Amino acid sequence: MQKYSKLLLCLSILSVAALAALASIASAKDFRVCADPDYLPFSNRAGEGFENKIAELAAKSLGAKLIDVWATTRGTGGFSEFLARNLDAGKCDAIMDMPYGSQEELTTDPYYISSYVFVSKKARSYDLENMDSPILHKLRIGFERETPPEDGLKIRDLLSQAQPFSVGDTENLSPVTMVRAVQDGSVDVMITWEPAVGWFLRNYPDLMVTRVPNTRTTGAPEQYLFPMSMAVRKSNENLKELLDGVIAQRKGALEEILRQYNVRLYPPTGEIS
């Protein structure tokens, strides 16, 4: 995941104009979605990721034909370069998973909220309440590079004893490597984005997940809980409104897809102001 600023949570009210546009969209229209061809549980060429399923649902709801545009999100330049080369360049119309309120693109209303989490062995029963938990000073910590937990560890002088994982930057590297590092004892606790590992955790019953809250003992709050949206080019207000309509009308179906991939859904809280 990229570094994020604080994000708003309130869902905007769908306009009458957007509803009318949604009802009148031509069934023959193509809906081009950019997605990574090999980054489960998010997406792959076989359509096995939750972003693939969400794109299929969105296309069907729009009465459009889904066209997959494959491009790695983990190449040189990272996610921003992926956006510039693909969405901004007009190769696709939308992406299915981006933090709500991002300044890089025009985001839809959020369709789920998830969090960074601690992943550890159940048998250890570590007292992991937040990033200030004293036990962290005694543990071998794993974290995903270039994410909010890296900043949190740095603030607390814990970075030197932590092991970085570059899953979000390295092609062909599965997030399951972070889960296995906890299982085999390479690290005692992994701090990562929950949707990246939830799907794999079903096969690791000895591991547990604890949400990383935004609270901090001293200083300003930190951000670990994020609302996630679809995104379109900044100039494409019409498609943004159409997708807002899909999100409003198909909320239950979207959440069911996420539950099938063991993505934990969190309610909005005052913490995320």
Q: What is the CATH number of the domain that holds 167?
A: 3.40.190.10
The confidence score (pLDDT) of residue 221 equals 80
Amino acid (one-letter) located at 133: S
Rounded to 5 degrees, what angle do the CA atoms 5, 31, 231 make? 5
The confidence score (pLDDT) of residue 12 equals 33
Residue 10 lies in a domain: no
127 & 202 share domain = yes
DSSP single-letter state for residue 159: G
Segment-wise mean pLDDT, segments of 10 residues, the chain, 273 residues: 35 34 51 97 98 98 97 90 96 97 96 97 96 96 95 95 93 95 98 97 97 84 94 97 98 97 83 42
Q: Measure the N-to-C terminal CA separation of the chain; round to a whole number of Å.
A: 20
40 & 78 share domain = yes
Q: How far apart are CA 23 and CA 66, in angstroms?
A: 18
- Tell which residue, 173, 139, 174, 171, has the closest CA to residue 156: 139
Phi, psi of 63 (to 5 degrees): 70, 35
Range of the domain at 189: 114-211
The confidence score (pLDDT) of residue 242 equals 97
DSSP single-letter state for residue 151: H
129 & 193 share domain = yes
Strand 65-70 with 30-35, pairing: parallel
Q: How far apart are CA 112 and CA 151, in angstroms?
A: 24
Q: Is 239 exposed, middle or buried (0-12, 13-18, 19+ CB in 10 A)?
A: buried
The confidence score (pLDDT) of residue 22 equals 42
173 & 40 share domain = no
The confidence score (pLDDT) of residue 26 equals 38
CB 47 within 8 A of CB 12: no
The confidence score (pLDDT) of residue 20 equals 37
The confidence score (pLDDT) of residue 11 equals 30
Q: How far apart are CA 7 and CA 231, in angstroms?
A: 15
The confidence score (pLDDT) of residue 120 equals 98
pTM: 0.85
CB 43 within 8 A of CB 36: yes
246 & 257 share domain = yes
The confidence score (pLDDT) of residue 75 equals 81
- Tell which residue, 251, 222, 257, has the closest CA to residue 115: 222
In the listed set 185, 211, 237, which residue is the last one of a domain according to the structure? 211
201 & 238 share domain = no
Number of domains in the chain: 2
235 & 100 share domain = yes
- Tell which residue, 145, 149, 138, has the closest CA to residue 169: 145
252 & 174 share domain = no
Residue 177 structure tokens: 């490597």
Residue 25 lies in a domain: yes
44 & 174 share domain = no
